[in-house]
Amino acid sequence: MGVITLFRRTRRSIPVRPEPGTPYAEAVDLHVRLGQREVLAGIDLTARACEVLALVGPNGAGKSTLLAALCADLPAASGTVRIDGRPVGDWSAPDLALRRSVLPQSAALSFPFPVEDVVRMGRAPWAGTPLEEDDEEAVARAMAATEVTDFAGRPFSALSGGERARVALARVLAQRAPLLLLDEPTAALDLRHQELVLRICRERAAAGDAVVVVLHDLGLAAAYADRVAVLHDGRIAVDGPPSEVFEDGLLSRVYRQPVEVLPHPRGGAPLVVPVRG
């Protein structure tokens, strides 16, 4: 049975777009273990509608693990994760697919699907619903937003790493779930497309979505996120607007690298600069 056929045969509850500021994804006293190691310890975090929340921190801090727990790909050892007001375990997989879309760190396919077909995969959760008729428009808009329309017919396997990353993002955007979870979406991208991706995040938040994005570039987080959660050793060191939480001492301690935080000469957004020499 194909994926789309499976979705068509499954009864689902269509999500209602949340009001601005409504908590849409929540972690409460979340603990996650991988093997014998506790990777997340006592996480409390909320992603709200109409907001971009950036998860930042050094390698191994728990950012990707937290994102995976929020999307229900990793089980909690203890604590609770809720999406759309209910524990994630209370949702069926088809219902969950209507509520959250996920971009993993890397995108790989075993078959040489054309780009347009890869993006269309994002519409599978809506098969058999009244919104299935929006498929073509949703696919076209997602491809245009990520600038992949010009190679719609090329095999995904023939693309560069950055092109694959943009196609994977287009698939996620075509899904049109109210919760967007992106794990390092700018890692493989050039300067132009890094900015493009973060502008898309802002546009999705402005349209009513809750957006959670893992970033390594603190400048991008400061410029585009409404809130940042700085992770350190599996805990949240601080959570708040970048202008309030990006502070020399805290970031120097968390990253084990002396930094200065300076206001951008245009607009005042924080710039995080390593101390050299």
**What backbone torsions phi and psi does residue 160 show, to the nearest 5 degrees?**
-70, 170
pLDDT at position 7 over 60: no
Q: Looking at residues 8-17, what average pLDDT do you find?
A: 76
Q: What is the mean pLDDT of residues 77-106?
A: 95
What sign for the dihedral angle of Cα 36, 39, 45, 50? negative
Tens of pLDDT, residue by residue over 158-169, are 999 999 999 999
pLDDT over 60 (residue 71): yes
DSSP for residue 123: G
CA-CA distance, 128 to 103, in Å (whole number)? 24
Which is it for strands 86-87 and 100-103: parallel, antiparallel or unpaired? Answer: unpaired
Single pTM value for the model: 0.94
Position 4 pLDDT exceeds 70: no
Report pLDDT digits (tens) over 16-27: 889 999 999 999
- Contact present, 230 and 244 (Cβ < 8 Å): no
Distance between CA 122 and CA 143 in Å, rounded?
A: 12
| Residues sharing a CB contact under 8 Å with residue 23, sequence separation 6 or more, in sequence order | 46, 47, 48, 82
For position 133, what pLDDT does the model report?
87
- Average the pLDDT over 187-193 and give the result: 96
Higher pLDDT, 210 or 106: 210
Parallel/antiparallel/unpaired status of strands 23-34 and 100-103: unpaired
The per-residue pLDDT for 8 is 57
Q: Phi then psi for 178, rounded to 5 degrees?
A: -70, -15
Domain 3-274: give its CATH superfamily: P-loop containing nucleotide triphosphate hydrolases (3.40.50.300)
Q: Which residues contact 110 (CB under 8 A, 6 or more apart)?
A: none
Calculate mean pLDDT across residues 23-35: 97
